Amino acid sequence: MPLRAKPSTILTAPPLSVSLLNIVRSTLLGLSITVLLSGCGGSDGSDGSDDSASSTPSLPSDPNPPTTPDNPEVDTDWQPAGGNATISADVSRPFLQIMPNLPSSALGGVSPGRELFITQWTPANEGRALFDGVGPLFNANACTQCHSAEGRKPVYAADGVLSDAILFRLGDQQGLAHPYYGEQMQHQSIDLSIATEGSVRYAMTAAHGETPAGVQFSFTPTDPNQPLGNMAISGRISPQLVGMGLLDLIPEASIIAAADPDDSNKDGISGRVHWVEEGRQQHIGRFGWKAINASLRTQNANAMSQDMGLTTSVFMDPNCTVNQPICWTAANGGSPEVSDSSLDAVSDFMTALAVPERRTGDLATFNKGASLFAQVGCAGCHTPKQKTGDSNRFPLLSQQTIYPYTDLLLHDMGAGLDDGVKEKNAESYEWRTPPLWGIGIVARDPEARFLHDGRANSLTEAILWHGGEAEAVKTRFKQLSATQKQTLLTFLNGI
């Protein structure tokens, strides 16, 4: 069975209009819709640090301060956050709008893709030929079950109960999947004749020194004869998904140029490309928490496979292992259950999603925060600016300057964030730099969680979990005064 990695699942949207004309009109007016994939961050106030700390980087007093070794040059000539895909930030539905000025010729895929995206899929042979085939094992029957129009759905409920907005990857540090459960645990099945794989509960761990509180997961198998054994279980929350089509268009050459696997510039950061096989060729992984999918189309197919149990031409086998024979004999909704035209339509829909414009507030303070972001070293991985290549399908997205705050590279994040699960060539301690655009909108929700398993409940906590290549960055952040920290957080909440 081919190796499949974690997809991020999907989100909420208003009911689809019956009339295509109404869809076109609504879309061109800024139709609210939904998104799919990854980030870390949050917001809180100051932590009470002493403003007089003499060892901290000095706060620039000018919005465009001079360049010094301790004050790297920062480009504050802000262009739209998502280029032509930028929309004004609607805080009620920030991530679910179609990019403006989309020509009607492009709606042929976008509108059907939206319908496929928001529909509730059913098991095979229930009279909905276009929307059947979910399961036999699955985590969600709709993309919208895991992702919210407002950003992220709550993850941690009371008494150790988890929502559907978190998935669980299984494996070990050698990259082996569980022989019975495979690479991802599915907690639902289409009927009682097929047993679910199990359930997971959580418990919060206590803070230890400067290490914030964390989270531990406990797995209960449906079949007590199938324990996890020596395999690790790793939670993966469903992030807000924004600008996915733009990330798909960043040229591979740009990603390669930013890599420094041997830390030749001696800055302590050694991001590396995650090369993955796609279409029998090697490509750069750029989607998923560990960058295991090289294209948006494959990311979507992977989500359909692992989260919903839907086969595509990319992943033709059901999400069952060879040790789950009943799963293989269940009725299917076709071969594949999602046609290439439907998969392409979903990818068109995802590509057309807009990027909310940054919320700068007081521009001078925002620019000071941008300078601190660079001084502390955050920009060493969270690269502020990228440029897209050419797109024949969506010419509006060609050659766009965008601000996703990611280098799309893998980085060693240290023992604290080592989840014990290697995926493809990404080690258990390595994570793709998550894009930060729109993270401040997410952070306004008091239930928002951050990092891959949602252990952090604020931006500050997320930063304090950073280690490995980011250890020095974390140290510099901790040395900032309370005022400087608040300025940096204000910036992050506005990008």
> For 15-30, what is each residue's pLDDT tens digit?
333 333 333 333 333 3
Q: How many CB atoms lie within 10 A of CB 59?
A: 18
Residue pLDDT, tens place only, 439-493? 999 999 999 999 999 999 999 999 999 999 999 999 999 999 999 999 999 999 9
Confidence of residue 72 (pLDDT cuts 50, 70, 90): low
Give the C-alpha separation, 14 to 23, whole Å. 12
What count of other Cβ atoms lies within 10 Å of the Cβ of residue 342? 21
The reply to whether 7 falls in a domain is: no
Q: How many CA atoms lie within 13 A of 284 on its CB side?
A: 21
Burial class (CB in 10 A: 0-12, 13-18, 19+), 10: buried
Among 149-158, 210-219, 327-336, the least confident range: 149-158
**CA–CA separation, 177 vs 358, rounded Å?**
40
| Residues 97-150 pLDDT 10s | 889 999 988 888 899 998 999 999 999 999 898 999 999 999 999 998 887 777
Determine the pLDDT at residue 74: 86
205: which 2 tokens? 């761990």
Beta-strand runs (E) in 324-424 = 355-356, 386-387, 401-402, 410-412
**Full-model pTM:** 0.85
Q: Does residue 4 contact residue 183 with C-beta atoms inside 8 Å?
A: yes
Specify which of 41-45, 96-100, 123-127, 221-225 reaches the highest per-range mean pLDDT: 221-225
Question: Per residue in 299-332, is it b (16+ CB within 10 Å) or e — as a string?
Answer: bbbbbbbbbbbbbbebbeebbbbeebeebeebeb
- Is residue 1 assigned to a domain? no
Q: Average the pLDDT over 212-228 and give the result.
A: 97
Largest CA distance in the chain: 70
* Cα separations in angstroms, 223 against 184, 188, 197: 16, 14, 7
Q: Residues 100, 26: contact at Cβ < 8 Å? A: no
Residue 13 inside a domain? The answer is no
Is residue 107 in a domain? yes
Instruction: Tell whether 165 is covered by a domain.
Output: yes
Percent of the chain at pLDDT above 70? 85
- 315 lies in a domain? yes
434-453 per-position pLDDT tens digit? 999 999 999 999 999 999 99
Q: Determine the Cα–Cα distance for residues 10 and 145; give it in Å rounded to an integer.
A: 7
Question: Which range marks the domain in which residue 39 is found?
Answer: 20-492
403 located within any domain = yes
What tokens appear for 105 in the block? 């010729």
Within-domain flag for 10 = no
Q: Which helix (H) or strand (E) holds 368?
A: helix 363-376
**What total number of domains does the chain contain?**
1
